[in-house]
Amino acid sequence: MKQLLLGLLLFQLTAPVLAGVDVLSIRIWHSPLSTRLVFDLSGPVVYSVFTLTDPQRIVIDLKNTESSAVSPGDQTLGPWLLALRSGNPNNGVLRYVLDLKGQVHHDSFLLPPGVVYGHRLVVDVKPADRSLRANNDPVDSPTKKDYVVVIDPGHGGDDPGALGRRGTHEKKVVLAIAKRLQSILNHWPGVAAQLTRKGDYYVSLRNRIRIAAEHQADLFISVHADSARRRSARGASVYILSSKGASSEIGRELAKRENASDLIGGVKLGKQEHSVRETMLDMEVDWKIKESKAFARNLLDELGKVGFLHTKQVQQAGFVVLKAIEIPAVLVEVGFISNKKEERALQTALHHERIAGSMFRAIVRYCTEKSQCRVNQDPKGIHVVRKAESLSLLAARFGTTISAIKRANKLKIDTLLIGQKLVIPEL
């Protein structure tokens, strides 16, 4: 009932009367924690959302609206929704009814036009009972003997991040790199890697931090791609948290842009601002910054071997996603998606491997230097070939050359066999 009243109130507040709105399409995003329905609209809409019981339903009323959208099939509705129906209960109102499989929480809000999409109404649905979350819940129980690296691919879902001139989305590139890094790390004894998102859906900055905390992460790496108006801007940069302020104007601007992800993704600020505030003691902050810097230096060093660096020094700025957990945390801008050459490279699997390989080598180096790391160094230098691995891929991963690997293993041909043991030089 409260929701009904709230909805009615919204009707009142958001008037003036608008010209007819058209629902252009309906998109559905699934994350392990929730299902998001996005109604693409021809303009801003006056709407209300409320629930009905017996059976459980969510009703979405759009005032003065018509629909030219194709209704998504029931099989695309995910684990908590049974069906999506529409009708016209009274003059000018377009009503959607979501039939539910059980009790859910819902949240709804309007989004203004962004880089890719126009006006949108977003309805988020998540099960009231946390144990009913989808099976691919990102929080698998960690084995604590491992060094846990949480990799955070930026953006996702309705937030595409930066856009390349050839149409490349930052969210796609960074997910591909993050998945590669996860796979490399998970085959390395003593390390376990987890992702804050596994697909094309939005995760709020607060939830990214929460996932890292629940995994008891030892290291946090947020992966992004940069963009700039100056098209010649190129190269990678590595940022860590600043307790005082940004180390440069560029850093300040970048942090502002990356932090705005929550606005684009639809999290209402105000509601979450305070929950991501730093809760660490000064001593912990000092330690975190010192360790983050040590790791970031290793990372810059390795990235510099495979490509250009935008800034040779570790940068500091107030990134929300780097706050609130007392572990080393970095944010990497892997290159400029706005640069023609780098955009092209960022579309290739080999370049993803090069970047993921740099991150992997930086992690191994950092761990070897630190006594608190539990990375097992036993298999040093030996790699067992797995499916879909080639000499060029392994050279990119381990920061060496094809000919160096061939020489070290006295290989005459370029073909590798699954299970073949290779000595990796310089590792």
What span, in angstroms and rounded, lies between the C-alpha atoms of 239 and 323? Answer: 12
Cβ nearer to Zn ion, comparing 146 with 262: 262
Minimum distance from residue 170 beta carbon to Zn ion (Å): 5
Bridging pattern class, strands 329-336 and 382-384: unpaired
Of the listed pieces 108-116, 149-157, 272-280, 371-379, which binds Zn ion according to CB under 5 A?
Answer: 149-157
| Phi, psi dihedrals of residue 20, rounded to the nearest 5° | -55, 140
- CA–CA dist 30, 37 (Å, integer): 9
| Subset of 254-283 contacting Zn ion (CB under 5 A) | 258
Nearer to Zn ion, 127 or 161 (CB): 161
Say whether residue 154 binds Zn ion (CB under 5 A).
yes
Among 224, 310, 365, 397, binds Zn ion (CB under 5 A): 224
**What is the C-alpha separation between 83 and 101, in angstroms, rounded?**
9
What secondary structure does DSSP assign to 311-376, as a single string? -SSPEEE--GGG-SSSS-EEEEEEEETTSHHHHHHHTSHHHHHHHHHHHHHHHHHHHHH-TT----
CA angle 357, 360, 363 (to 5 degrees): 150
Closest CB to Zn ion among residues 157, 161: 161
Check binding of 138 to Zn ion (CB under 5 A).
Answer: no
Specify whether the CB–CB gap between 67 and 232 falls below 8 A.
no
Q: C-beta of 203: minimal distance to Zn ion in Å?
A: 13
Tell me the number of residues near Zn ion by CB under 5 A: 4
Among 32, 157, 161, 335, which residue interacts with Zn ion (rule: CB under 5 A)? 161
Distance in Å, CB of 82 to Zn ion, minimum: 36
Q: Is 340 exposed, middle or buried (0-12, 13-18, 19+ CB in 10 A)?
A: middle
Judged by CB under 5 A, does residue 160 bind Zn ion? no
Nearer Cβ to Zn ion (332/394): 332
Give, as ranges, the residues between 341 and 380 that touch Zn ion (CB under 5 A). none
Choose the stretch contacting Zn ion; rule: CB under 5 A; options: 140-148, 155-163, 271-279, 314-322. 155-163
Q: Which residues bind Zn ion (CB under 5 A)?
A: 154, 161, 224, 258
